[in-house]
Structure 1
Amino acid sequence: MSAALARWRLALRMARRDVRRSKGRSALVAVMVGTPVMLAVMLSTLYATDDVTPLEDMTAQLGSSDARLSWHGYPIEQSPDGQEGGGSSAEDRAPEPDPGPGGVRALLPGAEILEVRSTYVTFVGRAGTGRLREVDTTPPMADGLVDLTEGRTPERVGEIVLTPHVRDRLDAALGETVDVAGRDVTVVGVGTFGSVDPNPFASGAVGFPGTFDLGESDGAEREYLVDRDAPVTWEDVKRLNSEGFWVISRHVLENPPPASARYDLDAWDGGRDTSAEAVLVIIVTAVLLQVVLLAGPAFAVGARRQRRDLALLAAAGGTPADVRRTVLAQAAVLGAGSSVVGAALGLALSPLVIAVLPRWFDEGFGPYDVMWPAVTAAVVLGVAASLLAALVPARQVANQDVTAALVGRRAAPSRRNGWPLVGLVLVAVGLGVCFTAGIQPGGETAVAASTVAIVLGTVFLTPLVIGLVGRVGGRMPLTLRLAVRDTARQRSRSTPAIAAVMATVAGLTALAIANASDFEHDRRSYEFTYPLGTTMLSEESGPVDTAAQAAGEAARVTFTPIGTAGQRGSDAAGEGWIDVAVETEDWGRWDTREVAVATPEELAGWGIELTPEQGETLRTGGALVAGPSLLDGDGRVTLGTYEETSDGASEDPRTVALDGSAADLGMGAVPQGREPVVALAVIAPQTAQAQAIPYERSRALADSTLTAQQLRDVRAALRELPGEQSTWTEQGFDGTFTVQLLLLVGAGGIAVLIGTLSATGLALADARPDFATLAAVGAGPRTRRGVAAAQAVVLGALGALLGVLVGFAPGLAAAWPLTSGRWGALEGTGSGPVIDVPWGILATLVFVVPLIAAVASAIVTRGRVPLTRRLAQ
């Protein structure tokens, strides 16, 4: 065994003994180091679980088949896993019709084909819009396509499997008959189809072929599962690509081709985006800095408490390197132990988070997966942060006066002012990046990088700031004067503690200003769709008249329907649309181009009162418009009709010119913003019919504000009706900043408390001889507690105040692109940035949290200390 290894072995053995003896300090370091490691492991595990790989998804995509083919219509180039690609640039031709199963068999002779047809439908019972599929799941090649949680797969026409969300919204039990897409079908199972990553709020159903007659619908999408004796190789995939098929092959997923045999897809992916890696580097740097600053004072406490033991080691012949090695060994033991425990806790808590998150967010997770390289990196980062945090205390104690340490005499404290010039340069660079690249759209990475630069620069300036504060301490009360003097004298101990608080508060300040400004921007820019308190009833599957009558009778009010020009589901496939809009170059003044179809009486129910002349204009085939600028020089308004079929083809637009008259189409005053209009133009039903303008009567407005009981009565009445109805009441901007407020205050408060209390404990440990002197000259127990509280106030308030000042610039820079309306400015609706500083949050961090830390320090501090002998210094 080499001499160096023997020395490290001895140092590690001494470190383990000291960790067991100093359980409180060891626990504090473990929390400081282990918590970031735990969070990093949890985040990496959530990311890996959410990132479902093609291999993990293979069974759900292919079942037990060899490949899945979908028709693209023209030659394509794709990645081996089928996740990237597009139309081939080698040949350009119009899309061709799907060749069907026969075309697949011609390309893959001897293969068995299983056809899957699908379309989108709106489910009855407010279960939303989802994908409806027809597939025979009885053949062996379909095993695994449907992931059942209850029941069985469909075996005959009229049987279906519902996703859990649809089952819950329809309140359908197994064996029950429900209405799906206008068909009465029997629920035989509950589960998901085609993905191992089920969305908890996804709406969908799988039926036996023929249940919904999707085979007769030209708008249905078709996919083909292929099973044959020979695997579908990469050469087969490329051949099928040239014929217009997109292919996912089991053999290719399990045996990817070499890079030389793949397509060059640079034209389709647009180059590699490295912004995620840049943000990751910034986050790792910030976490490392935070751990070093927080754990540094704790290691300094341990080193100071071991001054005599380490002095004995030096007196017995140990070199300064041996002393440094002893302190660093303690950091290595504590860092390794806390990092491993933190990683284990992160892995243990991740399944719980994965189970809970889908209930709050519209997102599902795949199979539980651990990113072991990230876990290893987090542990190594934790150990490295511990060693960096202990590096300065180790050097200080290695250079101490051995004689002074043996007799209990404290060494004269150092009073370095840091590296102010380096700090000023870093702050200047950070501010420059903040207000140049940071205020541009997409400047989040620049803001994060500049924040790290400003924080590092302020760390270098902190000793100088502490010295300036110490000069004004003589005018303060006794307890505060002692605390300020001690903070200024012990800058090597105070600087990392204050910097740790500062770094945390700076990040939270920037986040708070950005979020508060974004929230205020959303509140100011809210546009009322209807007058405040108005309830609107809509019908997705047909005319709203029946629902309006039922809702009005239930609530004892009047719901007045009107029509909207245009039509959805206009072709045989049910997926085309016709849009009718006012042709105007003055659209920037309006938030709609809709054309309403209504009589004067119906408009009165919507709060629109017409003059006799305006009513006559409607009845005689003219149109009412919301402003004179919508009329041309001849007093006419032009309506454009745009049609697109389900296959994506667009018809040439058709325009209709009508005699127009300007009218007040506003529905009533609103608290802020523009008065909402019923539409940009209104025509009568007979005019729409005469001009062949399609329209739908899909919405109705209540003539008075509904109470909560009336709304419940309306919803109860609508549940008895077929189709999909919904109600919505205009409540104005209903966003809230409460959750963000609590999170910011809670996170900031905990960080400030941890940093302040750890630094206060170190200060009190150093000040034991001073307290003994105070007790000897008659100071009571209250004085010691007062000094402890004052120490917490000074450290916490100074760190928090610096953090607020440091975080202000990044916060303003982050708020600028979020609220400046740069994209709206292209349409003439942009506005300047909205800056809202949450002074309550910042005041809480600067004043309230340090006071809490002061009270906690006073409570846990012993009032009486044993008298010790003071030696001449």
Structure 2
Amino acid sequence: MIALPIIGVSAADVTLRSSELSPAEEVSRKIGAADALLTSSGIGGPIYQRPDGGGYTAVSDHAFQQSPEPGADHARSAVPAGSEALKVSTGHTKIRSRYGLLQTELREVDTASPLVKGMIVMDRGRAPEEAGEVVATNAFLEASGLFVGSQFTPRGSATWYRIVGAYELPSDLHKIEITAPPGTLLTPLDKELRAAGVPGVVADDAYLVKTGPGGFTWNMVKEANTKGVLVRSRAVALDPPARSDVPLYALMDSTGERDFASLPASETAILATVVGLAMLEICLLAGPAFAVGARRSRRQLGLVGANGGDRRHIRAIVLSGGLVIGAAAAVVGTAAGILLTLALQPLLEERIGVRFGSFDLRPLELLGIALLAVLTGLLAAVVPAITASRETVLSSLTGRRGIRRANRVLPFAGLAAVALGAAIALYGATADAGATVVAGGSALAELGVVALTPVLVGLFGRAGRWLPLSPRLALRDAVRNRGRTAPAVAAVLAAVAGTVALATYQQSSEAQQRAEYVAQLPAGSGKVELHESGHQKSMGAVRQAVSRELPVSVRADVAHVQVGKPGCERVTGPGDCGRAQIVRPKDQRCPLWEDGAPEFTAAEVRRLRRDWRCTVSQHSSMYELVVADEKLLTALAVTDPGTVAALKSGKAVSLDPRDVKDGKATVRLITSEAERTFAGPGEPPGEDKVFAVHQAPKGTNGYGISVVLPPSAAQAAGLTAQPFASYFTLEGPPTERQRQQLAAEIDRIGVEAPVAIESGFEPEDTTAMLALTVFAALVTIGAAGIATGLAQTDAEADLKTLAAVGAPPRVRRTLSGFQCGVVALMGVALGTASGILPAVALRLAQRREIADMAKASGIGEEVPFVPIVLPWDTFAALLVLVPLGAALLAAAVTRSASGIARRAAG
């Protein structure tokens, strides 16, 4: 009984410690055995960077606006003189797979170099040795249908390459990547060569550097930053500089900005809370277990007293049993926890896509967990030892329990503990007190609920009048034997509270991430856009390929308004065709973006940002004005009947109310010549077309499209429409094979037309959350099962009485099942209510931290969206499955026949 929670705690400890990479392990996965990795930041001027190389900013706005000189290798220029440098080139292209075309990351590096050791881990096969040989990640082989020994060609190339080995990236197991020797796949091309159609992939170059004694110091990093080069240094990672020596932090402090990476880890807070509740569950579960064991040994203890033993001997016997059981539980639980971690580690790694570091066993932490088990066994035996020593020899030998009065002080102490604990937890959430205060307050409130358990059990007993015979008898038995029932209920309560706290916190965090996620299209919809000029005639073939390869239910063909003579895009590009622009009424334009706008105060800027005219769309489209029929509204999930009917009848539809005034929208046709010659403020002049439009309901999402013209309205206005895209809805999510086949079909057509499919928000799994979920589920199920066993063991006398009076096995099984089910149900109900407090407190603490950070960073003073979502599905599963499972388990293990109890000698 003690070993089960110890298994969970030790397994969680080893799992979390093993998943935490040491600075040396983390930097080795990034830069191998080199001293530093130098990468161009893409900024032509000097930069400030974080010590770990995870972020940077330009020194000034002027430096930020500067672009690197074309052809200049800034990263190479920052390599110290006399250092060994290994070039690492990266890029991406599409590879011809078994099914079609697969978007793939490419990397060129000499894998035989000692500097690469640690960056990639070979799984099978060998490293490239000859020209045309490459190695690929396991994720690439799985997605492409290829294998070690297969050959492939990149898109646009006639050269064949052979895969001679498979490897994995320890920090990104799901990355689709190919690694090749230098000069194999990547070709740095300038604009002229790319325009001429020369095959090749543009490469981004970085350098692994080996300097010598001392490594790449922080002063060397700052020197490289002056050239716009970002550095990830081993020496800096192992011995970070003081905050005062980091220019980026000094800049942030001067502007009042806080470091977003400095937020306390939420997983640590929820870990402390769940583990604390698990420790409480150990104490609560072990106590009644020893009490039951002591009662079953009353006759033996009575014989000790009858043969001259005094109370000290009886206490010593019971305490020695607790010490031995605690020591055995420590050894078994710790060993089983380590084995459980080894068994679950591959599953957790594959789920999150990251390999753990070295198998990290912390002897002191495991010893502390083991000592906790020993101490728990000893403390759990204290009360039963005292109780057993106080019983008379006669009562021990006859088995009479006597009459016990309820403690009248305990309920008031429980109420005080609940109120004080809740106040402390909420104070820790609203004040800058940290997660430790939240966990401590939650634990105190939990102890208060435990103290109230006998009273709450009595309140549950009042529901028995509405129950059938067997559950009513089981409930009354539980109420009359509160000394047995209350600790078992409290044990299930503590375990369930940890599960509920974890589930509430996890679903609340997921709801926040879901709200922050910006979908580019409705879930289950997609679009294909033609990104090449002069190939509009190929759009029909692209559309047919989409309908053929994907499970398309509705396809909406979309065109844009062309300004200029037919074929103008073939001259030098679409810029010679001019553009069609929606003219927004002046009084509906955002004052912040108007030319010649006055200087606004900070308060005015915050107020205007909330103005409906200044709403910033997070969606993008190649054209805000498109020509399409009502099928486009279906693809955009616009279901308003009036809007659909208007477009179907030939009337233009506006999806953005800022573009419409008095039921009309203006479209200006601006020629390329007017665009080039106009130099004044505002928009270039052009020919205006006014359309009567139907305004879609407020809140309609056009996903970057503002006005939809039906083909008849565009033709009546004399506008020329050119096809450029298709939006579509799918009957189901496409498979990876279908995606690759479609990419291959579009490639055979000979155009660049990327396909985007919105799959919706997909929550990310973390090691901490997965480990805690497994741990909480293990403790909850174990606590319910153990409480079931305790209740059945203590009720064995009642079952024998039923057998003595001739009750059939069905009655005995039913009563036993309901007895255990009632205990589990009461514990789950109280634990569900108790587990909400720590999760809510932690979410409130996180809301306060984010709000303080946003205010200090100048983002705004609005309260951030940090929702608190109750996991009703988890509640339902706990309230139904745990009691039902406990009842069925008890009924299954209850023997059909039981020997009649022998009458004890008087």
Query: TM-score surpassing 0.5?
Result: yes
Q: Give SS of 2:90's match.
A: strand
TM-superposed deviation, 1:525: 12
Q: Does 1:168 align with 2:196?
A: no
TM-superposed deviation, 1:286: 0.5
- 1:51 corresponds to: 20
Q: Does 1:759 align with 2:759?
A: no
- 2:85 corresponds to: 113
- 1:8 corresponds to: none
Distance 1:428 1:307, change over 3 A: same
Distance 1:469 1:812, change over 3 A: same
TM-superposed deviation, 1:289: 0.7
**In 1, are the aligned partners of 2:88 and 2:107 still within 8 Å (CA)?**
yes
- 2:383 corresponds to: 392
Deviations 1:640-683 (A, max 9, x none): 99xxxxxxxxxx999668655353487xx9xx995767821358
- 1:796 corresponds to: 824
Distance 2:580 2:359 in 1: 46
Counterpart residue type for residue 691 of structure 2: S
- 1:147 corresponds to: 121
- 1:74 corresponds to: 46
Q: Does 1:457 align with 2:448?
A: yes
- 1:549 corresponds to: 544
TM-superposed deviation, 1:551: 3.7
**In 2, are the aligned partners of 1:627 and 1:662 still within 8 Å (CA)?**
no
Distance 1:460 1:579 in 2: 74
TM-superposed deviation, 1:404: 3.1
**In 2, are the aligned partners of 1:42 and 1:346 still within 8 Å (CA)?**
yes
TM-superposed deviation, 1:802: 3.3
Using the TM superposition, name which of 393-402 and 551-560 deviates more.
Answer: 551-560
> Which residue, 223, 245, 251 being the options, matches 2:206?
223
Counterpart residue type for residue 562 of structure 1: V
Q: Give SS of 1:187's match.
A: strand
Q: Where do 1:488-507 residues align within 5 Å? A: 488-507=479-498
> Which residue, 864, 867, 870 being the options, matches 2:902?
867
Q: Where do 1:141-290 residues align within 5 Å? A: 141-142=115-116, 145-154=119-128, 159-173=133-147, 174=149, 176-179=151-154, 184=159, 186-192=161-167, 196-209=170-183, 211-214=185-188, 220-227=203-210, 230=213, 232=215, 234=217, 237=220, 240=223, 243=226, 246-248=230-232, 256=239, 269=259, 273=264, 276-290=267-281
Distance 1:155 1:524, change over 3 A: closer
> Which residue, 108, 121, 146 being the options, matches 1:134?
108
Distance 1:787 1:634 in 2: 74
Q: Does 1:331 align with 2:322?
A: yes
**In 2, are the aligned partners of 1:127 and 1:165 still within 8 Å (CA)?**
no
Deviations 1:664-704 (A, max 9, x none): 487xx9xx99576782135899x99xxxxxx99764145x9
Distance 2:408 2:613 in 1: 63
- 1:294 corresponds to: 285
- 1:4 corresponds to: none
Counterpart residue type for residue 867 of structure 1: R
Deviations 1:708-758 (A, max 9, x none): 9999999856544428878788999999xxxx9x99998798357415413
TM-superposed deviation, 1:356: 2.5
Deviations 1:544-578 (A, max 9, x none): 54321334467899955435899xxxx99xxxxx9
- 1:562 corresponds to: 558
Q: Where do 1:593-608 residues align within 5 Å? A: 594=621, 596=623, 600=627
Distance 1:522 1:83 in 2: 26
TM-superposed deviation, 1:865: 1.7
TM-superposed deviation, 1:420: 1.6
Distance 1:142 1:491 in 2: 66
Q: Where do 1:442-591 residues align within 5 Å? A: 451-467=442-458, 487-508=478-499, 536-537=527-528, 545-552=540-547, 559-562=555-558, 585-586=612-613
**In 2, are the aligned partners of 1:164 and 1:190 still within 8 Å (CA)?**
no
Q: Does 1:852 align with 2:888?
A: yes
Q: Give SS of 1:212's match.
A: coil
Gaps of 5+ in 1: 1-28, 573-577, 618-623, 642-651, 689-694
Distance 1:306 1:71, change over 3 A: same
Deviations 1:32-66 (A, max 9, x none): x3232223333333333333334235555444545
Distance 1:130 1:329, change over 3 A: farther
Q: Give SS of 1:117's match.
A: strand
Q: How many residues align?
A: 786
Q: Where do 1:804-815 residues align within 5 Å? A: 804-807=832-835
Deviations 1:48-107 (A, max 9, x none): 33333342355554445454334556365664xx466856989996677676576346x3
Q: Give SS of 1:209's match.
A: coil
After superposition, the CA RMSD in angstroms is 6.1
TM-superposed deviation, 1:496: 0.8
**In 2, are the aligned partners of 1:626 and 1:662 still within 8 Å (CA)?**
no
Tell me: higher relative CO, structure 1 or 2? Use CA pairs within 8 A at least 6 residues apart: 2
Distance 1:487 1:241, change over 3 A: same
Counterpart residue type for residue 134 of structure 1: E
**In 2, are the aligned partners of 1:797 and 1:846 still within 8 Å (CA)?**
yes
Distance 1:817 1:635, change over 3 A: farther
TM-score normalised per structure 1? 0.70
Q: Give SS of 1:416's match.
A: coil
Deviations 1:505-525 (A, max 9, x none): 445556667778999999999
- 2:766 corresponds to: none
Distance 1:445 1:143, change over 3 A: closer
Distance 1:157 1:91, change over 3 A: farther
Using the TM superposition, name which of 486-495 and 721-730 deviates more.
Answer: 721-730
**In 2, are the aligned partners of 1:418 and 1:461 still within 8 Å (CA)?**
no
- 2:594 corresponds to: none
Deviations 1:620-642 (A, max 9, x none): xxxx733554246996669999x
**In 1, are the aligned partners of 2:558 and 2:628 still within 8 Å (CA)?**
no
**In 1, are the aligned partners of 2:501 and 2:839 still within 8 Å (CA)?**
yes
TM-superposed deviation, 1:287: 0.8
Counterpart residue type for residue 208 of structure 2: L
Distance 1:793 1:441 in 2: 43
TM-superposed deviation, 1:459: 0.9
Counterpart residue type for residue 488 of structure 2: A
TM-superposed deviation, 1:346: 2.8
Q: Give SS of 1:562's match.
A: strand
Gaps of 5+ in 2: 192-200, 253-258, 563-571, 574-578, 591-611, 635-643, 671-679, 715-720, 764-769
Using the TM superposition, name which of 234-243 and 579-588 deviates more.
Answer: 579-588
Q: Does 1:663 align with 2:693?
A: yes
**In 2, are the aligned partners of 1:536 and 1:699 still within 8 Å (CA)?**
yes
Distance 2:310 2:561 in 1: 90
Distance 1:83 1:707 in 2: 41
**In 1, are the aligned partners of 2:512 and 2:867 still within 8 Å (CA)?**
no
Distance 1:56 1:342 in 2: 29
Distance 2:466 2:36 in 1: 82
TM-superposed deviation, 1:456: 1.9
Distance 2:669 2:355 in 1: 42
TM-superposed deviation, 1:290: 1.0
